[in-house]
Amino acid sequence: MIARQAYEKVQELAQQFKSVAILGPRQSGKTTLARAVFPEKPYISLENPDSRRFALEDPKGFLGQFPDGAILDEIQRAPEILSYLQQILDEDSRRGKFVLTGSNNFLLVQSLTQSLAGRVAYMDLLPLSLAELKPLENALTNVDTCIFQGGYPALWAEGIAAANWFPAYLRTYVERDVRIIRNLENLAAFEKTIALCAGRVGQLLNRQNIALEAGVSDKTVEAWLGILQASYIVFLLPPWFQNFNKRIVKSPKLYFYDTGLACYLLGIRRPEDLRLHPFRGALFENLMVLEMLKARYNRGERSNLFHWRDSTGNEVDVLVDKGTVQHAVEMKSSQTISDPFFKGLRYWEKLSQQQGGTVIYGGDEPQIRSRGIQVLSWREAGNVGLV
């Protein structure tokens, strides 16, 4: 098993709450982590038709099998049992009794909020971070390989080729997970929308443009984007709204929770194809933003990441909101440091009167520049701006 940074946080939450919910994409390692942290607990997968039928037909009898608690995997497949679980937790003072996992954020969080408010702690587990891959031999040798392969454990721990894994993953996602949320009538248009999103990685979200190309309505695209976010395919980086007496762009930026999936959807079939690919810079930015997000989630924190852009095109890739100050971060895929790397940071410094910032680039050597600006290798992205 590849060691997960969230391990200790899950242990901590289980000592403070009666139940813990580990949420994240399919195949991100939720079950493996839960069984590693709680090896003594019985494990039940609600993907199993017999277990799910028992849970739905006789929830009291199903839960009564586990007087000392259990790991209930893919709980969104039987959310009805959460109301019965509430009573069990209320009658027992023990902490960490039940561990729940789920890959559908929308359905699961909605059910948990209604039934287990105050009784459950949440942990978002995304695919492997660069820090988690670091112990693996040669894993971080080449940034293009990391972008291409993404972070799903099966590709690193089991050696499954990306060209074989992602088609199966996407088919499972569309045919099973999406149908749980909504019975889509136009699967072809939905799949095209996912591909169109991949072609807009790191760009401002324009729902009307996607709808036009997909051949569906704006409202349909809005609903489908909600599905993609709820099932951990894409996420939106919100804009920073501080005005500074300028017109600010208020659209979010679109990213994928895994760059390997984005590469597959873009038709990239080898890491070498990225060298001159027009989307290399955007995919590099996606990977770096994702690393910063994973570092926060693995510590049990919420995202404090934003982007900033004004109407004249001045922008900062990421602003880390620290309350009284915002740490500005720029991402550049080039391996050679050049003066244009610092343009956004200098503009932000002049505008906000906040010195410092970080440039994350595709090279290896860190540097400290004047006025508190640091230059870091892509391998260290997860450490940027942590409080």
| DSSP letter string, 188-227 | HHHHHHHHHHHTTTTSB--HHHHHHHHTS-HHHHHHHHHH
Q: H-helix or E-strand containing 101?
A: strand 98-102
> For 168-213, how does the pLDDT look when each residue is reduced to its tens digit (9 = 90+)?
999 888 777 777 667 677 888 999 999 999 999 999 999 999 999 9
pLDDT of residue 108: 67
pLDDT of residue 1: 79
pLDDT of residue 36: 97
> For 66-78, how does the pLDDT look when each residue is reduced to its tens digit (9 = 90+)?
999 999 999 988 8
Contact residues for 337 (Cβ-Cβ < 8 A; gap 6+): 359, 361, 363, 367, 375
> For 236-270, how does the pLDDT look when each residue is reduced to its tens digit (9 = 90+)?
999 998 766 678 888 999 999 999 999 999 999 99
d(CA 178, CA 231): 8
Closest CA to 288 of 260, 254, 330: 330
pLDDT confidence bin for 165, thresholds 50/70/90? very high
pTM for the whole thing? 0.94
Q: List alpha helices for the chain, DSSP H.
A: 7-14, 30-37, 49-57, 59-64, 81-90, 105-115, 130-133, 143-149, 153-157, 162-172, 178-181, 187-198, 207-214, 218-230, 259-265, 280-298, 343-352
DSSP category for residue 103: S
Beta bridge partners of 321: 326
d(CA 78, CA 45): 10
In the chain, domain spans: 7-124, 130-233+255-278
> For 12-64, how does the pLDDT look when each residue is reduced to its tens digit (9 = 90+)?
999 999 999 999 999 999 999 999 999 999 999 999 999 999 999 999 999 99
- Under a CB-based contact definition with an 8 Å cutoff, are residues 282 and 201 in contact? yes
* Strands ordered across the beta sheet of 19-23: 43-45, 70-73, 98-102, 19-23, 120-124
Residue 361 pLDDT > 90? yes
> For 96-139, how does the pLDDT look when each residue is reduced to its tens digit (9 = 90+)?
999 999 887 666 666 777 778 788 999 999 999 999 999 999 99
Task: Classify residue 198 as exposed, middle or buried by CB count within 10 Å of its CB (0-12, 13-18, 19+).
Answer: buried
pLDDT of residue 387: 67
pLDDT of residue 105: 60
Closest CA to 329 of 381, 257, 387: 381
One of 3.40.50.300, 3.40.50.720, 3.30.60.50, 3.40.50.360 is the CATH number of 7-124, namely 3.40.50.300
Tell me how far apart the terminal alpha carbons of the chain are, to the nearest angstrom: 29
Residue 3 pLDDT > 90? yes
pLDDT of residue 76: 85
> For 278-289, how does the pLDDT look when each residue is reduced to its tens digit (9 = 90+)?
999 999 999 999
DSSP category for residue 94: -
Beta bridge partners of 358: 329, 374
CA distances from 172 to 185, 270, 352 (A): 17, 23, 47
Between 159 and 56, the more confident residue is 56
Residue 333 pLDDT > 70? yes
Q: Reduced to 3 states, what is the DSSP secondary structure of residue 339? A: helix
> What percentage of the chain has pLDDT greater than the value 90?
78
Interval 358-366 mean pLDDT = 95
Q: Reduced to 3 states, what is the DSSP secondary structure of residue 310? A: strand
Residue 305 pLDDT > 90? yes
pLDDT of residue 175: 72
